[in-house]
Amino acid sequence: MSKKIVNDFSITVGTVNGSGSSTANNTILRALFKMGIPVSGKNLFPSNIQGLPTWYTIRVNKDGFVARREENEIVIAMNPNSFARDLESVQPGGAFFYADDIKLHIPREDIAVYPMPVKQIIREQTAVPSNLRDLVANMVYVGVLAQMIGIDMSRIEAALSFHFKGKEKPIALNLNTVRAGAEWAKANLVKKDPYFVEPMNKTDGMIMADGNTAAAIGSIYGGMQFAGWYPITPASSLAEALNDYLPILRKRDDGKHTYAVVQAEDELAALGMAIGAGWAGLRSMTSTSGPGLSLMTEFAGLAYYAEVPVVIWDVQRIGPSTGLPTRTSQGDLTFTAIIGHGDSHSVILLPGGADECFEFGWRAFDLAERLQTPVFVLSDLDMGMNQWMSKPFQYPDTPMDRGKVLWEADLENLKGNWGRYLDKDGDGIPYRTIPGSTHPASAYFTRGTGHDEQARYSEDATVYFRNMERLKKKNETARQYVPKPVVRESRGAKIGIIAYGSTESAVEEARAQMAEAGLKSSLMRVRAIPFTQEVKGFIEKYEQVMVVEMNRDGQMHQLLCMEYPQLAAKLRPVAYQDGMPASARWIREGILKFAKPQQSSASRKMGAAKKGASKKTAVKKGAKK
Amino acid sequence: MTETLPMAGAPAQVNLVGLSKKDYGGAPSTLCQGCGHNSISSQIISACYEMDVRPEDVLKFSGIGCSSKSPTYFLNRSFGFNGLHGRMPSVATGALFADTHLRGIGVSGDGDSASIGMGQFKHIIRRNVDMVYIVENNGVYGLTKGQFSATAEVGLELKKQGVNQYMPIDIAMEAIASNATFVARSFAGNPKQVKELIKAAIAHHGIAVLDIISPCVTFNNQENAYHSYTWGKDHEAPLHELSFIPARDEIMIEDIEPGETREVTLHDGSMIVLKNLEKDYNPTHRWEALKMLEEAQRNNWLVTGLIYVEPAKPSFTDTYNLVDAPLNRLTEADLRPAPETMAKVNALMF
């Protein structure tokens, strides 16, 4: 056995979809997290309920880089149908665990192979009822793996206890099977691979959460009152988390509710309801994914034009059309930025992890009500559905901003003299009244048709022009309210990188790899559209700015070029998508391909950049090769 | 509609909430002279005035089309939302959560509800959202100049459009099939009945669907057309003579032989008194209602009146067990969990 490799490798488990492996996989993930090792777990699953192959990939990395890697040092094969592919995917020198009832040829000699008598071990667990045997069988590989790489049994117990919410019976059932797997491995297997885990303290103070749950809880801390939604992968769990946490967090002594969550008949109705509620003064939201957002387009335009506050979460999956419903993407950005027919600008928030899903969950309501406009929050399947290491959720640091609202007393002071679409403050944001207000001057008629400052129907050309100019001004005002980017600069760097959303860890890893090879770079993670002034400053500061994103066409790159045409020549699209969570590999290769020759000795060292890759011709190409 | 002007020096006539009928008015209509929709707007004004409804307590909704323009023409002092084509129901569904003391009055058309918005129409009914849902039904698209709608009868011939080949959708039947708790049909040419039905619909707790045949004088008012004034007048077959008695009035039923009337008590204690005409019709029997509609269809009767009512069913918002105060009056103290909960939530994460 070669030298020990500790806390720096990837594990992939291949199972049959619907076989109950997620409990086992989450147990491994959580146990590693509790050992203090930076870790991520990503479910690479098919659009299927039962039967198709599915994978779960776990990365442990002592340096904190937890983006998906394309290489696997340890593979656990539980599915005969993906066996050959799984076997092939093991890195030379790696380890291959498999259920020994799969009687297939193993032609590789460059890896350590460990058969596991899963069926035999589970049969010996007489306490496991026969109907649960197949589910609990997955715990055998947890035990074998734990024994072979050194996962603490106490951490596994903690993970199971969390999963089963402290219920003794299922905890014992599963834990005993894990132990049986571990004992069998101890007695029968000889360690031949170099991969081990050892406790660290790098997850102290961190939590594990998925973005959808974080978003839901954040929304609740934002005072969410109404959600209309329609089931769609990968957004469903956001609304379901509202239903899980609202009764806990908004519990009242009288048992009554201060909120409503409505499963609508489709996405049109979901947003329609949310707009109705937002118009009537509720903190209102919907959550969906690309196909749903397509259906919501007309309503989004109405909310923009009629100036109705509403929050729209788009947990992006890969499209166009139905696409790959269970795979991730950042492909809805340009669509959302100008959603709807006619001229429109959207306010978009781009959370970078679970903690920001929480933060933007509450902040989005403040923005929507302040700006009286739909606020879109774009996360993605990877962020929304997978467990992420995260900073703990921080209680909102500002009180709720309900925006410019006039109730009875305000109207009394104004002697009823107000106009719904009057730009009284010169910031493009008018004042609104709320249905239910009893002041006789409070009512106005909301419409998607042309309207004047008093909300009266109007086809007058100057009125129309004036209103649209005001809406444009309002979008300018939005810049001062949206979250600023996160910037990490390296002294002496000539290359800037702009990224957003779930790619941060992969980008940081790529930066570290390039820095090691002598190519420094600075990072700006953009967190909102419209762009704040920092974005322009960052582009101006660097010779080249690489725009990293998970889509084909470089959508953020397009938006930046439109916003800053004078700086467009500096911007390079490092865009790639195949449905998989971002990896440092394609980001690094994409950046090196564009890096100017004087900067790219690193690229030669790393053997990635194609010599002579033309800066001019490469403007729109995908980054992968 | 005629309104008696107060004599000089005399106080204007006001209702129990101190408002004159003028306080229920809207902007001047921009629909065609003689449009059935204008007559319905007038009846909405009268009904609200006579029922002493505060205009501020009404939310108006509509979709897109001639009918959907009409909420501008009544209740200026009510909030209104003229949304998207066929999507009035979802906007109303969300808005009515904000303050359940408010009454929703929606005006849609046959294009809006029976074509593009059929899905939302059926689903708002299925949810029993507490509002009045008026379909101003004229069998034709007006604003786009005279195309067939889905309620147009087979064989209807329209200028430029030719002859309609398809069976019409029956709004009342669709409503009953979707488990509506109040379904009526009326005819804009019968304003008295329209008004009484609107009152009953406002008093009803839950969805109240009013399918009102409302002739389009410009595109579909030929004598033989099902949605015309002439045809309606000739073929109208009221199920009963209907009067609405508010909860506050003492009910005096005199000079009526037993067996001649039926009373339906609504959720708020008000009552609909139905005086039998040719036969005794029971509007609380779903199956009988469907049978009657089928019979009417076969015989070319324009059956009007209260077709079906189920007063006791909980409304949509009832099922949500909301706090008594309007949701839209709640503040940060009601809505944002306390700071000490944050650590507990983080502990729940792992």
Q: What is the mean pLDDT of each run of 10 residues along chain B (350 residues)?
A: 50 90 96 96 98 97 96 97 98 98 97 97 98 97 94 94 96 98 97 98 98 96 95 95 85 59 92 89 95 94 96 96 98 97 94
SS3 content of chain A, % helix, strand, coil (to 5): 40, 20, 40
CA B197 to chain CA centroid, Å, is: 8
Question: A600 pLDDT band (50/70/90 cuts)?
Answer: low
Count of C-beta atoms within a 10 Å radius of residue A252: 10
The pLDDT, as a whole number, for residue A1 is: 55
The three-class DSSP label of residue A276 is helix
Q: Taking residues A33-57, report their average pLDDT.
A: 93
**pLDDT of amino acid B134:** 98
Segment A483-499 shows an average pLDDT of 97
For A288, the enclosing helix (H) or strand (E) is strand A284-288
Candidates A599, A587, A578; CA nearest to A623 is: A587
User: Across the interface, which of A207, A271, A435 has its CB nearest the CB of B59?
Assistant: A435
- Chain B CA closest to residue A355: B346
Smallest CA–CA separation between A273 and chain B, in Å?
A: 4
Q: How far is A377 from chain B (nearest CA, A)?
A: 20
User: Which tokens go with A497?
Assistant: 């990188």
Which residues of A are less than 8 Å from B84 in CB distance? Answer: 272, 298-299, 302, 448
Return the bridge partners of A375, or none: A311, A347
The C-alpha R_g of chain A, in whole angstroms, comes to: 27
pLDDT of residue B276: 87
Q: Do A280 and B99 touch (CB under 8 A)?
A: yes
Are the beta carbons of B99 and A275 separated by less than 8 Å? no
Nearest-Cα residue of chain B relative to residue A218: B336
CA distance A246 to A224: 9
pLDDT, position B250 = 60
For residue B74, what are the β-bridge partners?
B25
Amino acid (1-letter code) at residue A235: A
Cβ contact (<8 Å) for A273 and B76?
no
Rounded CA separation B107/B31 (Å): 14
Q: Among candidates A551, A525, A142, which has minimal Cα distance to A328?
A: A551
* pLDDT computed for residue B279 by the predictor: 84
Chain A positions in Cβ-Cβ contact with residue B342 (cut-off 8 Å): 221, 392-395
Query: Is the bond into B314 cis (omega within 30 degrees of 0)?
Result: no
Contact A226 B94 (CB under 8 A): yes
Q: Is the pLDDT of residue A36 over 50?
A: yes
Cα(B227)–Cα(B223) distance, integer angstroms: 9
Classified as helix, coil or strand, B197 is helix
Which chain B residue has its CA at the smallest distance from A30's CA? B350
Q: CA-CA distance, A465 to A452, in Å (whole number)?
A: 10
Cβ neighbours of A280 in B, within 8 Å: 59, 94-99, 328
Task: Give the number of other CB atoms < 10 A from CB of residue A124.
Answer: 12
Q: Which of A49-53, A143-147, A224-228, A600-604 bottoms out in mean pLDDT, i.e. has the lowest?
A: A600-604
Burial A522-551 (b: 16+ CB within 10 A, else e): bbbbbbbbbbbeebeebbeebebbbbbbbb
CB nearest A276 (choices: B77, B91, B99): B91
Cα torsion A611, A613, A615, A619 to 10°: value is -160
* CB of A73 closer than 8 Å to CB of A62: no
At B274, the amino acid letter reads L
The identity of residue A241, as a single letter, is A
Q: How far is CA A444 from CA A419, A590, B52, B82, in A?
A: 9, 54, 21, 11
Give me the interface pTM, i.e. the ipTM.
0.95
CB contact under 8 A, B328 and A443: no
| Mean pLDDT over the full length of chain A | 94
- Cβ(A371)–Cβ(A477) under 8 Å? yes
Write the CB contacts of B48 (distance below 8 Å, at least 6 apart in sequence): B24, B55, B58, B74, B75, B202
**Residue A604 pLDDT exceeds 80:** no
The answer to whether the beta carbons of residues A349 and A378 sit under 8 Å apart is yes
Contact A457 B72 (CB under 8 A): yes
Report d(CA B2, CA A390) in Å as an integer.
70
For residue A282, the number of C-alpha atoms closer than 13 Å in the C-beta half-sphere is 31
In this structure, which long-range contacts are made by residues A529-532, counting pairs with CB atoms below 8 Å and at least 24 apart in sequence?
Answer: A529/A337, A529/A346, A529/A347, A529/A348, A529/A350, A529/A482, A529/A559, A530/A345, A530/A347, A530/A475, A530/A476, A530/A478, A530/A479, A530/A482, A531/A479, A531/A560, A531/A563, A532/A479, A532/A480, A532/A482, A532/A484, A532/A485
User: How far is it, in rounded angstroms, from Cα A570 to Cα A558?
Assistant: 12
Which residues in chain A have Cβ-Cβ distances shorter than 8 Å to B48? Answer: none
Query: What secondary structure letter does DSSP report for B121?
Result: H
The pLDDT value given to residue B159: 84
> Which residue carries 């994914």 as its tokens?
A289
List the one residue out of A67, A314, A285, A311 whose CA is nearest residue A212.
A314
pLDDT tens digits for range A359-408? 999 999 999 999 999 999 999 999 999 999 999 999 999 999 999 999 99
> Is A265–B120 a contact, with Cβ atoms under 8 angstroms apart?
yes
Cα separation values, A19 from A16, A78, A181, A450, Å: 6, 10, 18, 56
The answer to whether A579 and A324 have CB atoms below 8 angstroms apart is: yes
Residue A253 confidence (pLDDT) above 90: yes
How far does chain A reach from its first CA to its final CA, in angstroms?
A: 34
Going from the C-alpha of A190 to that of each of A112, A136, A186, A377, B141, the distances in angstroms are 10, 25, 8, 50, 80
Per residue in A142-186, pLDDT tens?
A: 999 999 999 999 999 999 999 999 999 999 999 999 999 999 999
Q: Do A273 and B91 touch (CB under 8 A)?
A: yes
Residue A452: Cβ within 10 Å count: 18
Q: Which residue in A550, A544, A547 sits closest to A559, CA to CA? A: A547
Q: Mind telling me how many Å the CA of A462 is from chain B's nearest CA?
A: 22
Q: Which residues contact B2 (CB under 8 A, 6 or more apart)?
A: none
pLDDT exceeding 90 applies to what percent of chain A? 92
Complete DSSP assignment for A114-141: EEE-HHHHHHH-TTS-GGGHHHHTHHHH
What are residue B264's DSSP bridge partners? B272
What is the pLDDT, as a whole number, of residue A21?
92
- Burial per residue of A594-625, b for 16 or more beta-carbon CB atoms within 10 angstroms, e otherwise: bbeeebbebbeebebbeeebeeeebbebbbee
State residue B287 phi and psi, 5-degree precision: -70, -40
pLDDT in tens, A329-363: 999 999 999 999 999 999 999 999 999 999 999 99
CA distance A14 to A104: 15
Would the pLDDT of A609 be above 80?
no
Mutate to test the interface with B, among A394, A395, A449 (most CBs of B within 10 A): A395
pLDDT of residue A19: 87
Q: How far apart, in whole angstroms, are the C-alpha atoms of residue A150 and residue A32?
A: 10
Query: Which residue among B89, B98, B341 sits closest to A281, beta carbon to beta carbon?
Result: B98
Q: What's the rounded Cα separation, in Å, for the pair A186 and A190?
A: 8
Please give the Cα distance from A312 to A379 (Å, whole number): 11
Encoded tokens for A494: 């000539």
d(CA B271, CA B112) in angstroms, rounded, equals 31
Least confident of A245-249, A305-309, B262-266: B262-266
Spatial contact of A597 and A84, defined as CB atoms under 8 Å apart: no
Cβ pair A257:B323 closer than 8 A: yes
Residue among B61, B164, B63 nearest B106 (CA): B61
**DSSP sequence for A501-542:** GGGHHHHHHHHHHHHHTT--EEEEE--EESPPHHHHHHHHHS
The whole-number pLDDT of residue B259 equals: 65
Instruction: State both tokens at B206.
Output: 């839950």
Supply the pLDDT for residue B1: 40
And the tokens for B348?
């729940």
How far apart are the CA of B158 and the nearest CA of chain A, in angstroms? 29
Cis-peptide into A309, omega within 30 deg? no
The token duo for A575 is 């865009």
How far lies A22's CA from each of A41, A60, A62, A575, in Å? 11, 18, 24, 31
Interface size between A and B, measured as CB pairs under 8 A? 214
What angle is formed at CA B252 by the lines to CA B248 and CA B257, rounded to 5 degrees?
145
